[in-house]
């Protein structure tokens, strides 16, 4: 099992139609970013929002619905219910969220471990996202490249950006490998393997997208926003590229001069899963 240099170059060439400014503008339309911004506005406390978002990130696995809906529910819940005791109140949220029903007990245990490590105090107001990354990995006893750990750091970067805090994500932060990213890795031809197999080879998947990131000049944390949103649109449209384009956030579709670039990138991300002929097809 190896990374296809040909497919890396195909994706990189498609990305050349987008500047880093375009990618950041796209990121600002990411539904996950928008719900974090809503929570910033509702609570008015970037430190508290950072802690809540980190806690939600570490339980964001084996969801019983789409990730976008899970994050929207989270933001609405805490916008209405500002925590007094963040650990107890967050456990109550986990027990009640319809999106966290699968493996709920294990998720509560993970929150308890987070709180025993005093991360709800250490992360509140912490500006250094590299330090946050180290604290999360050590506190939860997980590898630095663990999916939920790197995802939590990405979401902390979103909190800082959405709440107006000036900080930068670690340059070496890899892409969190969830099923959506594993599916894109397969469908783009980057690695010839089933998505379920790729889920267990996250270091290899991160190596592949790290290669794309280096050659394109787009940091992995910003590349992830593109992949996650475009990947969701492709997956939920059966890899019909034209239908997937219509599913993109309205803020993205208003960038009329970039629609062709997104179309080309979606085609490159779909080569192994889109049917032949115009418009797209089904996952194969």
Give the Cα separation of 263 and 242 in Å (integer): 8
- Helical segments of 123-248, H only: 129-140, 147-162, 179-187, 195-199, 202-216, 220-235, 241-246
Instruction: Tell me how crowded residue 91 is: count the other CB atoms within 10 A of its CB.
Output: 18
The residues with which 3 forms a beta bridge, in sequence order, are: 191
Give the Cα separation of 232 and 234 in Å (integer): 5
Q: What are the catalytic residues?
A: 147, 178
What's 8's DSSP letter? H
Contacts of 150 (CB under 8 A, 6+ apart): 133, 144, 173, 174, 175, 176
């Amino acid at each position: 099992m190896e990374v296809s240099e040909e497919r890396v170059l195909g994706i990189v060439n498609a990305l050349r139609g987008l500047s880093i400014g375009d990618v950041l503008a796209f990121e600002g339309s990411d539904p996950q970013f928008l719900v974090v911004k809503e929570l910033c506005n509702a609570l008015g406390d970037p430190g508290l929002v950072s802690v809540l978002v980190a806690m939600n990130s570490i339980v964001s696995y084996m969801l019983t619905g789409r990730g976008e809906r899970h994050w929207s529910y989270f933001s609405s819940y805490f916008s209405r219910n500002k925590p007094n005791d963040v650990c107890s109140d967050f456990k109550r949220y986990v027990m009640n969220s319809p999106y966290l029903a699968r493996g709920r007990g294990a998720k509560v245990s993970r929150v308890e471990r987070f709180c025993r490590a005093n991360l709800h105090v250490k992360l509140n107001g912490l500006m250094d996202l590299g330090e946050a990354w180290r604290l999360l990995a050590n506190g939860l006893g997980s590898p630095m490249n663990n999916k939920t750990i790197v995802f939590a750091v990405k979401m902390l970067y979103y909190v800082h950006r959405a709440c107006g805090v000036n900080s930068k994500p670690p340059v070496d932060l890899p892409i969190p490998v969830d099923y959506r990213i594993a599916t894109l890795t397969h469908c783009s031809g980057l690695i010839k393997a089933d998505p379920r197999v790729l889920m267990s080879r996250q270091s290899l998947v991160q190596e592949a997208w790290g290669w794309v990131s280096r050659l394109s000049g787009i940091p992995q944390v910003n590349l992830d926003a593109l992949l996650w949103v475009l990947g969701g649109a492709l997956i939920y449209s059966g890899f019909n590229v034209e239908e997937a384009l219509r599913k993109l956030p309205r803020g993205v579709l208003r960038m009329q001069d970039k629609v062709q670039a997104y179309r080309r990138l979606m085609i490159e991300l779909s080569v192994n899963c889109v049917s032949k002929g115009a418009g797209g097809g089904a996952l194969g």
